[in-house]
Structure 1
Amino acid sequence: MKQSNTLRAIGGLSVCAVAAGFAVAIGGGIATAAPGSTTWTDQYSTFTRTIDNATPTGDDTVTVTTKWARIDSNWEKLNWVKDYHSTCLTYVSGSAKVTDAAGVHTIEPYVEMAADYTAVDFTSLGYQPTAKRGVDTPILSIQYKVGYDCDRGTILTAGLIYNGSRGTGIYTNPGPSIRVAKNTSTTTLDAVPARTKVGQTVPLSAAVTGGADGDIVEFYDGTTKIGESSLAAGKATMMWTPALGAHILTAKFLGTTKANESVSPAQNVPVAPADVATTTSVTGPATAVAGTDVILGVQVSPAPALGGKVQFKDGGTDIGGLVDLDTQGNASTTAALAAGNHAITAVFTGFNEHLASTSGAHNIAVTPANVDTTTTVTAPATATTGVEVELVVNVSPTSAGGTVQFMDGDNKIGLPVTVVNGKATLKHTFTSAGTSNITAVHSDAAGNVISTSEIRTVTVTDTETPGGGNIGGSLGNIFGS
């Protein structure tokens, strides 16, 4: 950066206003003025430096402006400027601009950044602003990011050195000064997961503004501290395993030398009992007749203390609506089932901490409803002992099904015979001579008697002895000739 060898006469400097609480040490006649702005005169040039926020907090952005004005008829062309600042301030890239009667001019890339100053080079830029009385008062504007590491409550001085066509001006600390205030923090406790239960471990997370990584956040349940965590990227998280009952949770960001303390709004968190696994079992008859109500029962264990509901199902089809459990976990319903096989289940829908469960299937065989039948038995009119005969029964209608028990008087003849397509047949051998009164009794699948045939009489005779009528004749022939 090119500099003039002419040094401005510092002894003629006169400061008209400086930032409150700061006394400039160069020259005489310096007075304390309002914060954020300072004005001084050196020979025929007047300088005004302004900061838009003289009490920023960490991470704020401030804008510093310097205005050149001439009080005589001579003009001054600016070559370069070094704007001095605290080392905890950082230049905001692209922010350096100069404004004059011709408009706003961006200075980059002719900007040099150092730890304690930002320099701009108008000569290299190819545009040199000019201060001229009554015509032009150029203003240099630069923005800085206030570092979170800046000391709080400490005066940070500022100044500048510049070079123009009338020499070099050195003003190392005219201000305005900056006094960085503690950051105002805010703390927000994230919503705790709904339906938190005993035995669960849930995250407690707090979002903090105004803090820094490593700062501490404490978590409280009412007035009891339950843990703490360090900030990382604005978040602090700890894991919490709660007890049963109501809890009032808050998060507190602890104040530091850089930021003030803050506490989150309270969050009411009810913690429910731990989940309870249940088993459901269903009961009912093994057989039934179509159209006849059957009673279906269910037991849920352990029983929900305040009740609950079950849904009976026939396969995938609901049987009626939901049924309330009693306090012992029992419930029942009645249903008339169609003929066929049915797989009955019961589904407990779950209640509070009691988890849902489904029973195994209970099978019910349902036979068609009884219909009036006519049973007719056919048997030979006569029979001989020791000779097998066929007993036949016809059942009408033929679709009735069931079984037929053949009877000889009050005595059963063999086992029941299944009726197939309305007919049943039994092979039978009579063992004694006499009269047999044959009937057939038709029963349904459940053993219920539906109809009994009329009696069919069979006369049974003994089997004749072969050759018995000729014995005497043969002997006569032997002895009577």
Structure 2
Amino acid sequence: MRSSTLRRIAAPLVAGIAAAGMIVVGSGTAGAEPPPPSSNTYKEDQLQLTKEVVGDNVVHPGDTITYKTTVKHRNNGIVLAIEKIRDVPPAGFELIRDSVKVRYDNSWNKADLNFNSDGGVTARCKSDCTLLVGGFVVDDNEEVTLEATYRVPEDMDFGVYDSGALVNVHAWFGADRGDKNFGVFVRVDDPVVTTSTSLQVPATAKTGVPVELVASVDPAVASGRIQFKDGGTDIGAPVDVVDGRATLTHTFDIAGVREVTAEFLADGGFYSSTSAPQTIDVTADTVTELQVSPNPVLVGEDVVATATVTPANAQGQIQFKVNGANYGAPVNVENGTASLTRSFPESATYSIVAEFLGAPGNIGSTSAPVDVTVNDPDWDTTTTVIEPVTAVAGTPVNLAATVLPIPSGGDVIFVVNGVEVGAAAVGTGDGVAVLPYTFGASGTANVVAEFSGTAGYTPSTSAGFPVTVTDPEPARTETTTALNVIGETEVGEPLSFEATVAPNTANGTVEFKAGTEVLGTADVVGGVATLTHTFGAAGTYVVTANFVAGEGFADSVSGPAVLAVVDPGDPSNPGGPSDPGGPGSVSTGSLGG
């Protein structure tokens, strides 16, 4: 028997489902494709909501599908009262009402069912419910399960369909937990298997020399025959498909461009299909040479690639390629040459080749690759003030600005109401500069950040950033926060961040940040909060500790700690015991108030 009272009911923060569902409907789906996700779990405080498909989630029209929704207590000591559990099927699925069952308190008959207008079902507690507020009582890893079976209509479109799961917890604020699109999918497939046929042929051939035409059918279990065709004319008799392949050896007698296809003539249970056409040229040998000018160039500057084909009277097209991939459409050869003009958006070394595609009477050829060196001009930067939005007069805060793209160095000068108040280095790992500052009076202050520029990066100035400065609240006890960083500032090595809050009776949490990235949050216990973090990339990072005070105390923030994180495998990175980037510890003062 259940306890008839609810010992405690938590009121957690509202959290959203991450898996937003959608329905994708098409003309058919291939049986060889992997099935879509058939289960999903949502967790919030003591609640764990899981929905899953029982069995295979790939079905055909007329089949049935069973969903199982489980509400579980996560075993952290606070009892939940579940007001209702709702299953939302894909639109059009038909609920088999006799299939619905709810398992609660080791019983199958302690729930009432309501059948919804969307075709789904909602379960509510009927017996052994919470006395005070009603609902299923869930505690210490206990579960409530709702199972429902639906029939897929015979005329259902083929495609992928999402489904929903919703749960309402008494005394929790906000909407139901879960989502009508919960990310638990069913794929409705055509019972007749769709096939695809691909064709492999040589790009060139010579008259009188046999070549192989190879057709591949997917799925490989499809049974039938392949009819090879040349421009719509059958090439020989159909060839049986064995293990998904059919091969025909054929000799072309006349030079010219041949458009060859492979038509799969399917047996029962499979759809027929036809490959994309492939071309074969029967031609004479050619030689293609390539020149690229200018070389090297800057990012964004035009270069001209000129291909020369011998003999000069060869007719056809040149396909230019960059790093092995086609660039643009083929270019016609005129008087033995073809040219292409292009620019490059990024600095690098690019390999360009020219492939002569040939024509009747000429075999294609490919030039030797030409490497083009593309160098960067100076990057234009953008500087933006990001913090603080608000401040308290007389209480230190951190002025923060970002510089993008992230530069390799440089400083940011902060200007408040037209007056320079200091400069801070830009972190090469996060592009953030942080300067401690104290506003002297309440009102609206205008903060501007000026990036000085550095090698490869242009200077830039932010727009004005308004900061609302208010007078302090006399009823709050002022606090200070100091940050201590312990450990080796190396890539892959854990660092310990220790924030000390005074007075040590202050309650609250500390948010540790590197630039704009929140590394984590820790509770203050006895005036101290700690966090361990490992940096994954070399560079300088500005780390701060922000104390978010509880009742009766004022917030405060530490001074910035600039950490030079080095890669021990890169000898060009400095680092040593006397260096902020070497092993040891870094301490900062408090900006608390």
TM > 0.5 fold call: no
* Structure with the higher helix share, 1 or 2: 1
Instruction: Report which of the two structures shows the higher radius of gyration computed on alpha carbons.
Output: 1
Given the two structures, how large is their TM-score scaled by the length of structure 1? 0.31
